[in-house]
Chains A and B, each alone.
Chain A
């Protein structure tokens, strides 16, 4: 997999490059600002761009804006945005174009290397990787009469994992249940929330996230 990295902290940039190379990835560019990232992508389009949110010159959300801009210029480009804090509204910005290949994770998730690589592969394949904290922000402060209250604890877990962008197989693996059981849970969830059942993949994530945001 060919990867471009934009991260302004030198130690983290080198560390990430090192980590990805050690896992057999091809890091084709590692830059420290948003503008250089766009130049690097223009020169040699990667499979995934891994982008930090806060970068020079203003240290606000230029990484996020660069990611949105890159996806506008190169439709289908997968981006994985990393940040020291996650904000649900930023996820909304990233998902706004409705196409897959989007990830938004806390930086420290890199430490769980296997999970991080899984997210990277998912995003590169056109899927979604939402940080559990984004999903938690969406689940917090629900009203008392919310249909989510009707979900069993297990169904709620499945819903959270779906919102993070995991496939049925992965969800089954994480909760140690069979594929069939996951399938049944998902059927129940969609019925209880009154959502039309959607096939797996990015559209399902969007449907679930849209429901949680409403």
Chain B
């Protein structure tokens, strides 16, 4: 009775290999296309399209392998920039190397799975229908002349079945691992990783220092001076009340105005450090508030999210605020969508507008600021903004411990 339980992984392995054969066929096709488009120089304009297809096939295969192995295969970061950058990127090279593997080994291994099933079916059919087709042979070229031969054909079918049952699971296991290793982005060496962390840490310290200096300046030159003025005017009021109460009134009003100004400045400073609405309502409430008073119609698409470390929430909030401000100022968009979700260990913030695109990171300091802020959290920022739009700003931030 344990049969189904045993059979199921075998069926899964078989299905996996059968699809591997199909993907292998597609890979072979793309590989030949890639080769030909380079060889016949006139076909070079087709190259970007083929490379995009390759990336898409690799991405789909990552998903499929991830499901089969029950461990998601990380995607390499999207390559930004023009086609020359894409072509010289090590990720594209890795994809092409995988394509060669899939189009050769993958296709052969996958075909074995298909062959085992067709072998079983063909021999069984031959064993039954031979009287109607004189001269018909089994897959082993054995001519059918009697029902005794039928028995041999069934035996041959059983042989194929046994071969399939024995070979398919280990082959599927082996090939899925080989393919997954090629598809996953290379693990950065420890040294590279350390260099990256050191650089972002230095940038984070620098950004933090600049932030502290800015806050100090605002409090010191603004708020503190206003409060000094308040105290000074109250002192004058104290003296005036003893001598001539009538002159006290304008001083009281001045003190009141100075205190009101101090409060307004203090509110600005507080908002820039950690927006109170974030403390009150968490990231989704605070972003909903940003979205609701955006000048361009804006929708929020969010997954329920746990409360995150305050610094992470603040970073995500400022990304949305900055992206919305940029979109309103520069994009000419009719609609904006803000998406908040978790993907694995990361929270993902994505702001998409349907404007005219062509956003250039080099020209706006806002995006540079976002990138720096996010890098400090070991996060990733990507901007895709082709001419004609849409513009997609995506930020991945590790959600903390």
Contacts and interface: CB of A to CB of B under 8 A. Distances in A.
Interface of A: 53-54, 59-61, 84-85, 87-89, 92, 106, 108, 111-112, 137-138, 140-143, 146, 213
B293 A138 contact: yes
A15 B293 CA distance: 35
Interface in B258-302: 259-260, 263, 267, 270-271, 276-277, 279-281, 285, 288-289, 292-296
A207 B234 CA distance: 43
A89 B259 CA distance: 26
Nearest to A59: B279
Contacts of A61: 280-281
A85 B293 contact: no
A141 B295 contact: yes
12 contacts: A60-B279, A60-B280, A60-B281, A84-B267, A84-B276, A87-B277, A88-B292, A106-B263, A108-B260, A111-B260, A141-B295, A143-B328
A85 B276 contact: yes
Contacts of B271: 85
B256 interface: yes
A132 to B, nearest CB: 11
A3 B379 CA distance: 51
Contact of B259 (A53, A92, A108): A108
Contacts of A142: 295
Secondary structure at the B interface, as helix, strand, loop or mixed, is helix
Contacts of A89: 277, 285, 288-289, 292-293
Contacts of B260: 108, 111
A26 B63 CA distance: 69
Nearest to A107: B263
Contacts of A60: 279-281
Contacts of A141: 293-295, 325, 328
Interface residues of B, number: 22
A114 to B, nearest CB: 12
Contacts of B279: 59-60
Contacts of B328: 141, 143
Contacts of A138: 293
B229 to A, nearest CB: 15
Contacts of A143: 295-296, 328
Contacts of B277: 85, 87, 89
Closest 6 A/B residue pairs (Cβ) = A89-B289, A141-B295, A60-B280, A61-B280, A85-B276, A108-B263
A205 to B, nearest CB: 17
A92 B281 contact: no
A125 B276 CA distance: 31
Given A141-B325, A213-B292, 8 more contacts: A59-B279, A60-B279, A87-B280, A87-B289, A88-B289, A89-B277, A89-B285, A143-B296
Given A108-B263, A111-B259, A88 B281 contact: no
A23 B203 CA distance: 56
A51 to B, nearest CB: 14
A53 B270 CA distance: 16
A178 B263 CA distance: 34
A53 B280 CA distance: 10
A103 to B, nearest CB: 18
B270 A85 contact: yes
A138 B260 CA distance: 21
Contacts of B294: 141
B246 to A, nearest CB: 19
Interface centre among A84, A88, A89, A137 (most CB of B within 10 A): A89
B254 to A, nearest CB: 13
Given A92-B292, A213-B293, A87 B263 contact: no
A59 B293 CA distance: 25
A193 to B, nearest CB: 16
A59 B294 CA distance: 27
B292 to A, nearest CB: 6
A98 to B, nearest CB: 18
A180 B328 CA distance: 38
A142 B288 CA distance: 18
Interface in B285-332: 285, 288-289, 292-296, 325, 328
A190 B288 CA distance: 29
B256 A85 contact: no
A148 B296 CA distance: 15
A59 to B, nearest CB: 8
Interface in B20-71: none
Nearest to B267: A85
B95 to A, nearest CB: 42
B31 to A, nearest CB: 50
A137 B281 CA distance: 18
A177 to B, nearest CB: 24
A137 B260 CA distance: 18
Nearest to A109: B260
A22 to B, nearest CB: 16
Contacts of B270: 85
Contacts of A213: 292-293
Contacts of B285: 89
